[in-house]
Amino acid sequence: MTGSEALERFLHTDPGDVGCDEAMAVLHIFAELVAAGADTKPEYRGVAAHLRACGPCGDDFDGLLAAITNEHP
C-alpha cells in the first residue's frame, strides 16, 4: 500500500458510524451476536462501522469477545 492509499484509508469516514456512546451501549449485545455468528443484522451496521474505525472501542470489543468465547463454565 502506498502512503497516499494509507492516508486515504485513514481519512475515510463512514457516515453510518454511530460513535462511541451508542456503540458502547450495545457492546454486550453485539459481542454475543458476533460470538454466535449472527452479526450481520442491518441495525448493527453502524456499530460495526464504529468498531472498525475507533481503536479504543474496537479494543474493548475484542476484549469482550475474547472474554465470552474463552469463558470457563
Give the C-alpha separation, 16 to 45, whole Å: 7
Cβ proximity of 66 and 29 under 8 Å: no
What angle (nearest 5°) sits at the alpha carbon of residue 50, between those of residues 49 and 51?
95
Number of residues that bind other proteins (CB under 8 A): 39
Site string for other proteins, 13-52 (x = CB under 8 A): x---x-xxx--x-xxxx-xx--------------------
Q: What residues line the site for other proteins (CB under 8 A)? A: 1-4, 6-8, 10-13, 17, 19-21, 24, 26-29, 31-32, 53-57, 59-64, 66-68, 70-72
